[in-house]
């Protein structure tokens, strides 16, 4: 059975409040998680710090957004979400087919 790879675009909202990690260090960690789920990163775009349209926490009104394009098997998006679910540095994850 042949393995097909698909292209994905993942958008991450990063939370580095009160932590010494920079956005680049957090992105490197996310890229290593993508490699763990058999993905290959093709592009990284740091969108920058944006205000939330709806603030859920008054102490957290804005965050850094990063888009990562990667290719991987069909199971990669769900495996990526599961591995990043408990990561305190990644506030939200959205994975779309590209």
Query: Is residue 52 domain-resident?
Result: yes
- CA 95 from centre of chain: 8
* CATH code (residue 10): 3.30.70.60
Spatial neighbors of 72 by CB under 8 A, at least 6 apart, are 5, 6, 8, 34, 37, 38, 39, 40
Residue 1 lies in a domain: no
Number of domains the chain contains: 1
Q: How far apart are CA 92 and CA 98, in angstroms?
A: 19
Which pLDDT value is given to residue 98?
84
Three-state SS for 31? Answer: helix
Cα–Cα distance for residue pair 66/81, rounded to 1 Å? 15
Rg (CA), the chain: 14
31 is in which domain, residue-wise? 6-97
Q: Is residue 44 part of a domain?
A: yes
Res. 19 pLDDT band, cuts 50 70 90: confident
The pLDDT, as a whole number, for residue 21 is: 86
For the chain, the average pLDDT equals 93
Q: Is position 59 within any domain?
A: yes
Q: 72 in a domain, yes or no?
A: yes
Residue 32 lies in a domain: yes
**Average pLDDT of the residues in 43-68:** 95
Question: pLDDT confidence of 12, banded at 50, 70, 90?
Answer: very high
Position 78 in a domain = yes
Average pLDDT over residues 44-64: 94
- pLDDT above 70: percentage of residues in the chain: 98
Q: Which pTM does this prediction carry?
A: 0.90
Q: What is the pLDDT of residue 2?
A: 52
């Amino acid at each position: 059975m042949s393995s097909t790879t698909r292209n994905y675009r993942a958008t991450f909202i990063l939370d580095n409040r009160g932590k010494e990690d920079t956005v680049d260090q957090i992105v490197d960690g996310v890229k290593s998680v993508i490699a763990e789920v058999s993905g290959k990163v093709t592009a990284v775009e740091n969108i920058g710090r944006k205000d939330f349209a709806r603030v859920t926490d008054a102490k957290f009104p804005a965050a850094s957004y990063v888009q990562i394009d990667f290719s991987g098997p069909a199971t990669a998006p769900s495996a990526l979400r599961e591995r990043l679910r408990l990561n305190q540095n990644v506030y939200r994850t959205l994975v779309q087919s590209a």
